[in-house]
Amino acid sequence: MKEDFFKVGYSKYLSKNNHDEKKRTSSIFDKLLKKRFIIATSSIIIMCSFINFFLIYKFVRIIDISYRY
């Protein structure tokens, strides 16, 4: 009974050397690759909205300049 009490098993999964720790940059890169469709769609929408505001601003300035003369 006493001999069984002091027997300690070793598991290779408990060793810290066997755990492959992922770096933060690789995990962020993996998340970006998984969500690339959402990122591409949102970036296109944002880019088109900025272009739209810029074109509206230029159009208003052209109308304002032509209205003065």
Q: Residue by residue, what is the 3-state secondary structure of the chain?
A: CHHHHCCCCCCHHHCCCCCCCCCHHHHHHHHHHHCHHHHHHHHHHHHHHHHHHHHHHHHHHHHHHHHHC
- Domain of residue 48, residue span: 23-69
* Distance from C-alpha of 19 to C-alpha of 14, rounded to nearest angstrom: 9
In a domain, 44, yes or no: yes
In a domain, 40, yes or no: yes
Q: pTM for this structure?
A: 0.54
- Count of structural domains, the chain: 1
In a domain, 18, yes or no: no
In a domain, 12, yes or no: no
Q: Which amino acid is at 63?
A: I
In a domain, 38, yes or no: yes
pLDDT, tens digit (0-9, with 9 covering 90-100), for 17-69: 545 666 777 888 888 889 999 999 999 999 999 999 999 999 999 999 887 76
